[in-house]
Amino acid sequence: METGNRPIGIFDSGVGGLTVAHAIRQTLPGEQIIYFGDTAHLPYGDKSEEAIRGYSKRIAEFLLGYDAKVVLIACNSASASAYENLLAEYSNKALILDVINPVVEYVAARHFERLGVIGTKRTISSGTYEKKLHEAAPGTVLSSLATPLLVPMIEEGFIFDDISNAIIRTYLSDTRLQKINALILGCTHYPIIRNQISKFFNFNVEVIDSARIVAARLRETLERHNMVNRGEAGEDLFFISDYTEYFEKIARMFFESSINLQKADIWS
Ligand code: DGL
């Protein structure tokens, strides 16, 4: 595997993974990012495992076409469905990272007694967090809850208002989430409502968002493989598979600065 100034490839079902891209931009300012949001197939949370595997494979090839040194799956639904497949197929070409393993390792090291995780239907029904946490921290009790309305709610800009407060309250009042010490945000859209969630729990529950944990893991991994870019970084590129001005507008909210989205029609 070549080192040097190859870019970091990141993908998600849409623009939610830009929360992870933003954390990486801050943690690794000297790296070039190539981002792909599969807006033509959004949301992944309702798709089958088989469909998500097919999308993820094609997107990984698109990113490898830019000679990405890393393919980072910045989507929990795709991490739960396709990480092992991408690892088996492409780890001779690039480092393959997901958003679930780093978070599981992080919480395992913190020895929480009772944890909750919220995510899309695909992520929760896959049981990936349970399986991995059971291996890494067998004593931890994990309660999982699918919260499928949160992605469309965030994408429609319902944040810090009555509608979002009502939806968040309805989901998080679930008895399964009582008495938890920490809550994993198992979806890369959710950091946008992290403060609202913390407020619901009166700031008594630690709310764990994967973006910073994943960015820190990526830095460690690049350092370990001696793959940090020491030269000039190319310009970041942001692709989506279906373009609307609306995506451009909400992408700013996720990346916390203005970005230029280009359409890459990899499905025709
Ligand atoms: N951001 C994706 C995730 O982390 C969810 C969005 C979707 O359902 O496509 O799972």
pLDDT in tens, 150-200: 999 998 889 999 999 999 999 999 999 999 999 999 999 999 999 999 999
Sign of CA dihedral 107, 214, 258, 247: negative
| 108 touches ligand 1 (CB under 6 Å) | no
User: For residue 46, which atom of ligand 1 is closest to its CA?
Assistant: 8
217 pLDDT above the threshold of 80: yes
Is 187 an active-site residue?
Answer: yes
Fold: same for 8-98+214-263 and 101-211: yes
How far does the centroid of ligand 1 lie from the alpha carbon of residue 231, in Å?
A: 33
Of all protein residues, the one whose alpha carbon is nearest to atom 2 of ligand 1 is: 75
Residue 16 and residue 75 in contact, taking contact as beta carbons nearer than 8 Å: yes
Q: Is the CB of 38 under 6 A from ligand 1?
A: no
Q: Cα separation of 95 and 230, whole Å?
A: 18
Whether residue 255 has pLDDT greater than 60: yes
Q: Which atom of ligand 1 is nearest to the CA of 16?
A: 1
Which of 3, 23, 58 lies closest to 188 in space, CA to CA? 23
User: Which of 10, 120, 122 is the pocket-test mutation for ligand 1 (most atoms within 8 Å of CB)?
Assistant: 120
- 189 C-beta closer than 6 A to ligand 1: yes
Ligand 1: atom nearest CA of 77 is 10
Share of the chain above pLDDT 90, in %: 88
Q: In what order do the strands lie in the sheet with 95-97?
A: 95-97, 70-73, 8-12, 33-37, 237-240, 261-263
CATH of domain 101-211: 3.40.50.1860
Q: CA–CA separation, 194 vs 168, rounded Å? A: 11
Catalytic residue flag (residue 183): no
**DSSP H helical ranges for the chain:** 18-27, 49-64, 76-90, 100-110, 121-126, 128-136, 150-155, 162-172, 194-200, 210-224, 245-255
Structure confidence by residue, pLDDT tens digits, 48-104: 999 999 999 999 999 999 999 999 999 999 999 999 999 999 999 999 999 999 999
Q: Is the CB of 209 under 6 A from ligand 1?
A: no
Instruction: Tell me the whole-structure pTM to 2 decimals.
Output: 0.95
Confidence at residue 3, expressed as pLDDT on a 0 to 100 scale? 62
How confident is residue 247, by pLDDT bands cut at 50, 70 and 90?
confident
Dihedral angle, C-alpha 212, 10, 118, 151, nearest 10 ° = 120
Indicate which residue's Cα is closest to atom 6 of ligand 1: 43
Q: How many residues does the chain have?
A: 268
- DSSP 8-state secondary structure symbol assigned to residue 156: T
- What per-residue confidence (pLDDT) applies to 257? 85
Query: How does pLDDT run across 109-152, given as a tens digit for each residue?
Result: 999 999 999 999 999 999 999 999 999 999 999 999 999 999 99
1 falls in which pLDDT band (50, 70, 90)? Answer: low
Active-site residue, from 86, 96, 187, 237? 187
Q: What is the CATH number of domain 8-98+214-263?
A: 3.40.50.1860
Between 253 and 64, whose confidence is greater? 64
Q: What is the model's pLDDT at position 258?
A: 86
Strands across the sheet containing 141-146: 141-146, 114-119, 182-186, 206-209
Cα 17 to ligand 1 centre (Å): 8
In the set 18, 21, 75, 146, the catalytic residue is 75
Mutate which of 124, 189, 194 for ligand 1 pocket (most atoms within 8 A of beta carbon): 189
The two structure tokens encoding residue 178 = 């009582």
Rounded to an integer, what distance in angstroms lies between the CA atom of residue 71 and that of residue 20?
Answer: 13
CA distance readout (Å), 74 to 35, 110, 135, 203, 230: 10, 23, 22, 26, 24
pLDDT of residue 95: 97
Give domain limits for the chain.
8-98+214-263, 101-211
Report helix, strand or coil for 164.
Answer: helix
**Distance between Cα 136 and ligand 1 center (Å):** 24
- For residue 4, pLDDT beyond 70: no
